[in-house]
Chain A
Amino acid sequence: MSDARPVVLMGNVPPPARPRSLPGRWLKRLQPRGTSLVTSVPYLWLLLFFLLPFIIVLKISFSDTRIAMPPYQPLFSWGADQVLQIKLYLSNFAFLVQDNLYWQSYLTSITVAGISTLFCLLIGYPMAYAIARSNPATRNILLLLVILPFWTSFLLRVYAWIGLLKNNGFINQALMGLGLIDQPIQMLQTDFAVYVGIVYSYLPFMILPLYANLEKMDLTLLEAAADLGSRPRQAFMKITLPLSLPGIVAGCLLVFIPAVGEFVIPSLLGDPGMLMIGKVLWTEFFNNRDWPVASAVAIALLLFLVIPIMFYQRTQESGSGGGHR
């Protein structure tokens, strides 16, 4: 019988007084300090490897070029009469606005990254869904297969695509062998090749957060929806999809942000004339040795990416009150 009534045994011995040992108390007092120690590590990391480099780049972006080492003028200098001079060259940013090259590059990059992200989502969602709903044994194998390409160098995998896509490459040979085409299709050095490369390389970054989200979903919610008259497709649209939104957003950001600045894939697979901001950045830094303009390009790119994300988070927080279990 499961009786939850409190049982008071009459004539019970009073519970022994619990002696508090001295080291125990000291440990207790140390605890909050220990917590702050642990949390300070990621902060320190971010400070050293994100904020500090960012400030350096920001500083360079307000400087002017000179032929020296380093190839930019110092921001702060001592004038003749013991005057601290701070010279902020805003010309780098003005240059970005005036020259169409930069605008077009930003636009192309964002378009390419956006379309690639969309394809990653369309391909990645069903895959993540299938993995999350498969039985635990196959699930681990499937996840391993998603991560497996990372065991080979990224550069090597992009080179492999050259072998697949070039005019006498595997795909063209196969299509010609089957008699589907007479002449090889030009695939390498086209936008198509860039999309293939980006979608292929970044797909795992879409699948993994989506999988993590879909896997923890409470399946009785779908049963409840079915019980209330939803067919499986309606239940997906009304329950699964809205609940997986955080996973979709995380996956899209993880693909979109690096894809915008992508340099290797467009330069190896794409049309040499294709203007992408990553390539422009590279050219400014290494070919033109114009560090200030290159820094300005990087800062502007960062702002382009960070501001919309901050807006998104703001609306998320105020809108739903984090309405997720």
Chain B
Amino acid sequence: MATSVRDTQQKFEPWTDPHAKPFVRIERLTKKFGDFVAVDDVTLDIYPKEIFCLLGGSGCGKTTLLRMLAGFERPTSGRVFIDGVDVTNLPPYDQAVNMMFQSYALFPHMTVEQNVAFGLKQMRVPKPEIAKRVAAMLDMVKLGPFTKRKPHQLSGGQRQRVALARALVTNPKLLLLDEPLAALDKKLREYTQFELINIQETLGVTFIVVTHDQEEAMTLSTRIGVMNHGEIVQVGTPSEIYEYPNSRFVTEFIGSVNMFEGRLIEDEPGYVRIQCDDLDAPVYVDHGVSSAPGAIVWVAIRPEKVHIGREKPPSPDNWTTAVVRDIAYMGDLSVYLLRLESGKVVRITQPNIFRHAEDRITWDERVYLSWHASSPVVVVK
């Protein structure tokens, strides 16, 4: 159901074009450490100039997959093609792929300039050209005034940019980024995300980013591959992954969500109606679900897609009563924790549109929760 949806604003969608040639082709890649399967039969096509995010919790195999692409780990089976060339068993120093490490791995005994020049020196680029390219790259990442400093004299954000400059100065075909923003504080992270995108667009390099931070994945990527237990469970654009997750795992992993178990009571091509024990009224969903009537399904409703009101909604469907247990004020929005009749606690967010509202819903109040028929996501596994 999710595959037909496209973000109409974005023009860059090579993955929808059957004639587009993938830049990185991962074929049935598997990596085992003893009995442990770190990466399990992953097949993936990544297109030129994409920012592809591998998203998953710790231990899901995303870093191992990245390290295989860089040549640090030998796959147990499967092949990797970059630009049509089989690079599966090439050592890292023979690959035109660069990596930006999570720890940045800057050489502590070298200055910023020497760090950035390192790759070019290894490639035996003539000295004047090295100087020119290093200076241009340092200008681009706005490190011009810090060229003579050593890594320990830089701030976290500056180190991150040295790492980026060092990885990009050799003009790699593909840049692998391992948790590129994890070590930065929140403000800097948000700013750097957009800077990364700008640099990527300027240079036209393909990025593969590993991250556990879904917000980071959402802002950066053209497409996200969600990983769990070594497998890629869903590939899609950020909005596809968020609005049309294909499984309970993806639904719960991306953003926060209220999940209700239910039974299909009406199953038509155009709509379904689901009875959930936790909710007072049935859930009416305005699109079809491929499952047998009577089957157990899960209904997922995002916190921001629920309305809180004092009046009983007129519709026979898509509402329930609840009691306000807790309110957390976060500035831009408030988070309400409400208890349903069944005892289940749901989480609802409401934007704080007005600076001061007289008649705000408050503690222990009995309210009606309602949502639009297009809001619930129904997943069957």
Interface residues of A (CB under 8 A from B): 1-2, 4-11, 218, 220-221, 223-231, 234, 238-239, 242-243, 320-321, 323-325
Question: Which residue of A218, A226, A227, A321 is within 8 Å of B103 (Cβ)?
Answer: A218
Q: Is B271 close to A, CB under 8 A?
A: no
Tell me whether A324 and B109 are in contact in the complex, defined as CB-CB below 8 angstroms, given that A225-B118, A227-B70 are known contacts: yes
Contact B98 A228, beta carbon cutoff 8 Å = yes
Tell me whether A227 and B98 are in contact in the complex, defined as CB-CB below 8 angstroms, given that A221-B107, A243-B108 are known contacts: yes
Q: Is B330 close to A, CB under 8 A?
A: yes
User: In the complex, what distance in Å separates the CA atom of A221 from the CA atom of B329?
Assistant: 44
Contact B109 A243, beta carbon cutoff 8 Å = yes
Contact A228 B119, beta carbon cutoff 8 Å = yes
Q: Is B194 close to A, CB under 8 A?
A: no
**What would 19 more interface pairs be, CB under 8 Å, given A227-B70, A227-B98, A228-B93?**
A5-B330, A6-B330, A7-B330, A9-B327, A9-B328, A10-B327, A10-B329, A220-B103, A223-B99, A224-B101, A228-B166, A229-B123, A230-B93, A230-B122, A231-B93, A234-B122, A320-B150, A324-B109, A325-B151
CB distance from B67 to the nearest CB of A (A): 9
Q: Is B139 close to A, CB under 8 A?
A: no
Q: Is B34 close to A, CB under 8 A?
A: no
21 A-B pairs with CB atoms under 8 Å apart are: A1-B255, A5-B331, A9-B328, A10-B328, A218-B105, A221-B105, A221-B107, A223-B105, A224-B107, A225-B118, A226-B71, A226-B91, A226-B92, A227-B98, A227-B99, A227-B167, A228-B98, A230-B122, A243-B108, A324-B152, A325-B108
Q: Is B195 close to A, CB under 8 A?
A: no
* Identity of the chain B residue whose Cβ is nearest the Cβ of A232 in the assembled complex: B93
* Identity of the chain B residue whose Cβ is nearest the Cβ of A223 in the assembled complex: B72
Contact A323 B108, beta carbon cutoff 8 Å = yes
Which residues of chain A come closer than 8 Å to B72, judged between CB atoms?
223, 226
Contact B330 A242, beta carbon cutoff 8 Å = no
* Identity of the chain B residue whose Cβ is nearest the Cβ of A5 in the assembled complex: B330
Q: Is B246 close to A, CB under 8 A?
A: no
User: In the complex, what distance in Å separates the CA atom of A226 from the CA atom of B363?
Assistant: 59
Tell me whether A8 and B329 are in contact in the complex, defined as CB-CB below 8 angstroms, given that A221-B107, A243-B109, A324-B108 are known contacts: yes
Which residues of chain A come closer than 8 Å to B186, judged between CB atoms?
4
Per-position 1/0 for B335-365, Cβ under 8 A of A: 1000000000000000000000000000100
CB distance from B50 to the nearest CB of A (A): 21
* Identity of the chain B residue whose Cβ is nearest the Cβ of A11 in the assembled complex: B363
Q: Name the 3 nearest CB pairs between A and B, nearest first.
A: A229-B122, A228-B119, A224-B105
Which residues of chain B come closer than 8 Å to A228, judged between CB atoms?
93, 98, 118-119, 122, 166-167, 170
Which residues of chain A come closer than 8 Å to B106, judged between CB atoms?
224
Q: Is B86 close to A, CB under 8 A?
A: no
User: In the complex, what distance in Å separates the CA atom of A220 from the CA atom of B170?
Assistant: 19
Which residues of chain A come closer than 8 Å to B109, judged between CB atoms?
242-243, 320, 323-324
User: In the complex, what distance in Å separates the CA atom of A173 from the CA atom of B118?
Assistant: 55
User: In the complex, what distance in Å separates the CA atom of A7 from the CA atom of B327?
Assistant: 10
Contact A223 B150, beta carbon cutoff 8 Å = no
Q: Is B213 close to A, CB under 8 A?
A: yes
User: In the complex, what distance in Å separates the CA atom of A8 from the CA atom of B372?
Assistant: 30
Which residues of chain A come closer than 8 Å to B123, judged between CB atoms?
229
Q: Is B256 close to A, CB under 8 A?
A: yes
Contact B107 A323, beta carbon cutoff 8 Å = no
Contact B328 A8, beta carbon cutoff 8 Å = yes
User: In the complex, what distance in Å separates the CA atom of A11 from the CA atom of B122?
Assistant: 62
* Identity of the chain B residue whose Cβ is nearest the Cβ of A231 in the assembled complex: B93
Contact B93 A229, beta carbon cutoff 8 Å = yes
User: In the complex, what distance in Å separates the CA atom of A7 from the CA atom of B333?
Assistant: 11
Q: Is B201 close to A, CB under 8 A?
A: no
Per-position 1/0 for B169-203, Cβ under 8 A of A: 01000000000000000100000000000000000
User: In the complex, what distance in Å separates the CA atom of A243 from the CA atom of B122?
Assistant: 18
Which residues of chain A come closer than 8 Å to B103, judged between CB atoms?
218, 220
Q: Is B326 close to A, CB under 8 A?
A: yes
User: In the complex, what distance in Å separates the CA atom of A176 from the CA atom of B377?
Assistant: 88
Contact A9 B170, beta carbon cutoff 8 Å = no
CB distance from B58 to the nearest CB of A (A): 12
Which residues of chain B come closer than 8 Å to A11, judged between CB atoms?
363
CB distance from A11 to the nearest CB of B (A): 7
* Identity of the chain B residue whose Cβ is nearest the Cβ of A235 in the assembled complex: B93
CB distance from B364 to the nearest CB of A (A): 11
Contact A220 B105, beta carbon cutoff 8 Å = yes
Contact B329 A323, beta carbon cutoff 8 Å = no
CB distance from A6 to the nearest CB of B (A): 8
